[in-house]
Chain A
């Protein structure tokens, strides 16, 4: 079974430029998450999808961040324009329910550097 696939692995951009991250979740997983992880900190939930619907985007900075999950499968996260403080690792995860409990699987992340 293929895991969660993210691309690109690394991205360096200048501030004020746009950037997009792509995520392909594990087949059959209806729930998809985007996280931002700063160095030395825990993953911070940005948005959670159930199929195509964003059910929790309360922590997504909507002035510059946007996300979509077309057809309830792949997802993209966009930042426009990027700021220096957006430098972080962006993680995507998908989950299923196993024996009544949620199990989440993460991709390797995209390391964004804004210069």
Chain B
């Protein structure tokens, strides 16, 4: 079922650092690339998304970079904070199939 592959599985970053999570997709027909954030005991929530007609989208400390030729998109969290500690999922937005997730821990 998995049509998007994430890396790394887990990530530890110091407060104030940059967190980078990558996602590779297979189906070039995808036209929407979202990232979801999930805290323990909660359902995933849409964090940020990008369409393939742009190469980058920024919302606050969160940025998506999109590389169409490499079929990859990545999430960058600038000035990472302990409150960003969560699991992040990329997804294929047509059938809403998720990647395996990246567990981020931001140390104070």
Chain A residues at the B interface, C-beta cutoff of 8 Å = 4, 33, 35, 40-45, 48, 56, 59, 91, 93, 95, 100-109
A89 vs B103: C-alpha distance when bound (angstroms): 17
Are the CB atoms of A108 and B96 closer together than 8 Å?
Answer: no
B20-60 near A? 1/0 per residue, CB < 8 Å? 00000000000110100000011111100101000000000
B42-85 near A? 1/0 per residue, CB < 8 Å? 11111001010000000000000000000000000000000000
In-complex Cβ contact of A106 among B1, B44, B97 (8 A): B44
A40 vs B45: C-alpha distance when bound (angstroms): 17
A109 vs B40: C-alpha distance when bound (angstroms): 11
Are the CB atoms of A45 and B46 closer together than 8 Å?
Answer: no
Interface class of chain B by DSSP: loop
Contacts of A100 in B (CB 8 A): 32, 51
List 24 A-B residue pairs with CB atoms under 8 Å apart, sorted by A's residue number.
A33-B96, A35-B98, A40-B101, A42-B98, A43-B44, A43-B98, A44-B98, A45-B95, A45-B97, A45-B98, A91-B43, A93-B43, A93-B96, A101-B32, A101-B34, A101-B49, A102-B32, A103-B34, A103-B49, A105-B46, A106-B43, A107-B43, A108-B41, A108-B42
Tell me the smallest distance from the CB of B25 to a CB of chain A, in Å.
14
Tell me the smallest distance from the CB of B103 to a CB of chain A, in Å.
8
Tell me the smallest distance from the CB of A23 to a CB of chain B, in Å.
11
Interface class of chain A by DSSP: strand
Contacts A59-B1, A93-B96, A102-B96 given; does A42 touch B101 at CB 8 Å = yes
Chain B residues at the A interface, C-beta cutoff of 8 Å = 1, 31-32, 34, 41-46, 49, 51, 89, 93-101, 103
A4 vs B89: C-alpha distance when bound (angstroms): 19
Interface pairs A-B: 4 shortest CB-CB:
A106-B43, A42-B98, A101-B32, A42-B101
In-complex Cβ contact of B95 among A41, A48, A106, A108 (8 A): A48
A35 vs B97: C-alpha distance when bound (angstroms): 10
In-complex Cβ contact of A45 among B1, B45, B99, B103 (8 A): B1
